């Protein structure tokens, strides 16, 4: 059984007892979350597609940790002009475990 769910503005394919990394979510480590923006549910071949959401479907999850992604280096240069700019960015992430999918 899997579901397509919208979390923090992004769509994820989730299954029970799997981990996913999302943008930073509010909540303490160990807190339980419930997502009700379920777009699709597949239960052993029986697919139910929402218009736009599947009514009565929820996904329950638990926050495991808050962390940072790998650093992304942004380097800009214009040749022969003496212009160089180096910048870095580390995205804030939350690791969550999907506990159950209720269809």
pLDDT tens-place string over residues 65-76: 999 999 999 999
Residue 85 has pLDDT above 90, yes or no: yes
- Nearest-CA neighbor of 6 among 33, 32, 37? 37
The pTM (predicted TM-score) of the whole model is 0.82
| Res 45: pLDDT | 87
Sorted by sequence, the CB contacts under 8 Å of residue 101 that are 6+ apart come out as 1, 2, 3, 14, 15, 16, 41, 57, 58, 59, 60
pLDDT digits (tens, 9 = 90+) for 43-58: 888 999 988 999 999 9
């Amino acid at each position: 059984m899997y579901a397509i769910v919208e979390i923090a503005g992004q769509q994820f394919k989730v299954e029970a007892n799997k981990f996913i990394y999302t943008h930073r979510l509010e909540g303490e480590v160990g807190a339980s979350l419930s997502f009700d923006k379920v777009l699709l549910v597949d239960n052993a071949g029986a697919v139910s597609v929402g218009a736009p959401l599947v009514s009565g479907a929820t996904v329950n999850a638990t926050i495991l940790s808050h962390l940072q992604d790998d650093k992304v280096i942004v380097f800009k240069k214009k040749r022969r002009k003496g212009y160089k700019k180096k910048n870095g960015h580390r995205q804030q992430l939350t690791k969550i475990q999907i506990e159950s999918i209720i269809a």
